[in-house]
Structure 1
């Protein structure tokens, strides 16, 4: 078997297993042996594999710290409190609740990454719609879409962002300044389409609310300010660390450490629970996937993409780059797509790298397999006995993704024209 065929087969097997998860086994159970195989078989040189692992090291460290930080915030009741206050603000009106979920999911995704929205906020939304007696689909699907769409704003909002941020060599605030308009535009497009697409669900009056799946905080219960302040301080630390050339993983680790010390001191968590919240098998999966993608890129994918990826940062080039990234994300998942495209887009500068991000972050809303976050969201929905209809998911993706991608690229081009790369 040639190295080209072996590397492609390894990638396909790993992605299929990540989607299906036979017997509920972690993704790393399949990815790590596959990565080992491509190295042993010579599909990727050991030196290249080691270099890829070293490149992903800071990114994986950051992801681990953010996952711990988000879980500790959840343990402190931050997400539950936000959901309860959003429900009270909605006052039984589904359309108002949708607006609240959009605001809450956008903020959580931007500050604590898309995984927090999928894994921690989505169950809160299920509990909220159950208490209100409203149809869940608009609000639950909003969590899925915004975990991707709202992750455009900050380098720390998405694993793909952090990879592009490192490659672009720009500051934390500069990144946010370039992406804030595309972020707002994409969310606005999603919100407009959601209101129309789910009009029947949103116009259905609330029914008799069943017993809530989890206890809701009483109106007099104090808001958990400590984790909120810790998250805000961590975000400020990211900006300072970027200016000083410090890896964001250290800042995220410091924020997680503050909450961990507090939780351990109060007996609210254990060292084992902290390690479990870091999702070590998933981190191993990310590194293994990076090595496999390196093998695929080295054996033909890189050359093929180089022929179709536009060069430069003109409006047509940015549109073409985002489109290629979106298509590739839906074919092989957004994480492999960004790993493959970043080295090719880097010579065109930060603008092209950000166009890649628009493609790999917005494009996955089109299909289940476009992003790992969507796959996680589907599992959460199934655990809450909510059937995710493939046809409905795809129709919603077709209604939102092309428009959001087009208008966000226009917004990025406008920002680059006004303030420069």
Structure 2
């Protein structure tokens, strides 16, 4: 019911409208004890705090003109040529997803890509699909790129830099596989010439302050990990710097900053965690425990990633990672990262695979662009295996070389 409510959002109501009562009902009926519910909330608390901070950070970066500058760069780099535009979109979306999280790619970059392809006269489909797929696949690199990463980071016992080092090669391999498949699948659209780029050189103010703030925030994540400080505090510091500047210049209001944190969605994440914990405590952990491998060999990593990808499409990737991490952690950080590959790449198969994909679908509809379920699924059937298998092999190689 919680997942259906998140997908359908009856009457446009927030996801929390179903999730919070469901969590309360689970506690009230004894399906999960209050102590276990508090434990789960304690585990998710830092993750939810980070999500709030990074949503505010991304929105304030948008107010500073960071994404408008990104759109101008896309237009200037592509010069109206669809294939070059796809390469530029991949580069920009991968960077935004890795540094500012997948929500920034879906909510802030996708509308910019729509506007850019309209200016250039290119077909939007390949580039908009790239935003959807890379919001999932390109979120593999850093612990702060995705909520699932933060949970896996905590379970793995790795440092920030070691996590990034182990995931760098899988990240590059998965993105390259996505690019090759999308380029082949949308060959007809990409071969069609664009109408031109008359305004591609339109001057746009460089968002230097936002870029410096984001760079300092990213460096702060690595330092904070070394001294045992939660990433949420670093993200909050970056958001605070931009918020003070925006408020002083009257570019935003305190209410707008609070709204950017998306409090109903934060409540949904907490409530979903409690509901998933209730399901795990009542038999799901035992059922899946027999399927999760206990070693870090290549076949075991492939099996774990495939199981995680399948589960992500059945129950959404956030519940899937909450279920699988306690089962994978005893086998070592390599198994945890294999699960992460599955829950991050796997959601490109179906709409319900991740919340980001659901949100992307709504944004696409707002731009009067139809997304066909059949096409989305066909493309997912091509990209998910093509990206997941070589990414797991790359992870296995990174573990052999770097240890883990």
Q: 2:81 aligns with which of 93, 100, 106?
A: 93
Structure 1 position 221, deviation (Å): 3.3
1:289 maps to which residue? 272
Deviation at 1:404, TM superposition (A): 0.6
Q: What's 2:259 paired with? A: 276
* Contact 1:130–1:209 (CA under 8 A) maintained in structure 2: no
Alignment of 1:236-275 (within 5 A): 236-275=219-258
CA displacement at 1:309 relative to structure 2: 1.1
- Give, in whole Å, the separation in 2 of the partners of 1:23 and 1:221: 39
Q: TM-score, normalised by structure 1?
A: 0.95
1:117 to 90, 101, 105: 105
Give 2:90's match in structure 1, choosing from 97, 102, 124: 102
Query: Does 1:72 pair with 2:60?
Result: yes
Q: Give the Å deviation of 1:89.
A: 1.0
User: How far is 1:310 from its partner?
Assistant: 1.1
Change (3 A) 1:41 1:263: same
CA distance in 1, matches of 2:380, 2:79: 29
Alignment gaps of 5+ in structure 1? 1-12, 211-215
* 1:81–1:217 Cα contact (<8 Å) kept: no
Instruction: Give 2:340's aligned residue.
Output: 357
Alignment-derived partner of residue 4 in structure 1:
none
- Using the TM superposition, give the Cα deviation of residue 207 of structure 1 relative to its aligned residue in structure 2, in angstroms: 3.5
Detail structure 1 runs of 4+ shifted over 4 Å in the superposition: none
Distance in 1 (CA, whole Å) between partners of 2:373 and 2:197 is 27
SS in 2 for 1:207: coil
The equivalent of 1:179 in structure 2 is 167
What is the aligned partner in structure 2 of residue 31 from structure 1?
Answer: 19
**How many Å separate the matches in 2 of 1:409 and 1:85?**
33
Whole-Å separation in 2 of the counterparts to 1:31 and 1:260 = 30
- Distance in 2 separating the partners of 1:63 and 1:218: 35
Instruction: Pick from 412, 415, 419 the counterpart of residue 395 of structure 2.
Output: 412
Do the aligned residues in 2 keep the contact of 1:94 with 1:203 (CA within 8 Å)?
Answer: yes
Deviation at 1:219, TM superposition (A): 3.5
Aligned 8 A contact 2:32 2:281 in 1: yes
Retained in 1: the 8 A contact 2:75–2:200? no
Query: How far is 1:200 from its partner?
Result: 0.5
Alignment deviations for residues 53-112 of structure 1 (CA, whole Å, 9 cap, x no partner): 011000000000000000000011101111111111100100000000000000000000
Shift in Å, 1:326 = 0.4
Q: Secondary structure at the match of 1:157?
A: coil
Match of 1:301 among 284, 298, 307: 284
Q: Which piece of structure 1 moves more, 218-227 or 101-110?
A: 218-227
Q: Deviations over 1:233-254 (max 9, x none)?
A: 0000000000000000000000
Instruction: Give the equivalent residue in structure 2 for 1:59.
Output: 47
Query: 1:142 and 2:130 equivalent?
Result: yes
* Equivalent residue, structure 1, for 2:323: 340
Task: Give the conservation status (yes or no) of the 8 Å contact 1:168–1:349.
Answer: yes
1:83 corresponds to which residue? 71
Deviations 1:323-371 (A, max 9, x none): 1100000000000000000000010111000000000000000010000
Deviation (angstroms), 1:222:
2.8
CA distance in 1, matches of 2:373, 2:351: 8
Q: Which residue of 2 aligns with 1:401?
A: 384
C-alpha contact (below 8 Å) 1:168/1:346 kept by paired residues: yes
Q: Deviations over 1:132-177 (max 9, x none)?
A: 1110000000000000000000000000000010111111000000
Q: After TM superposition, give the deviation of residue 267 of structure 1 in Å.
A: 0.4
- Check conservation: 2:80, 2:197, Cα contact below 8 A: no
Q: Tell me by how many angstroms 1:208 deviates.
A: 7.4
* TM-score computed with the length of structure 2 as normaliser: 0.99
Note the C-alpha offset of 1:206.
Answer: 1.6
| Consecutive unaligned residues in structure 2, runs of 5 or more | none
Q: Distance in 1 between matches of 2:204 and 2:341?
A: 40
Inter-CA distance 217–63: structure 2 relative to 1 (3 Å threshold) = farther
Decide whether the 8 Å contact of 1:115 with 1:147 is kept in 2: yes
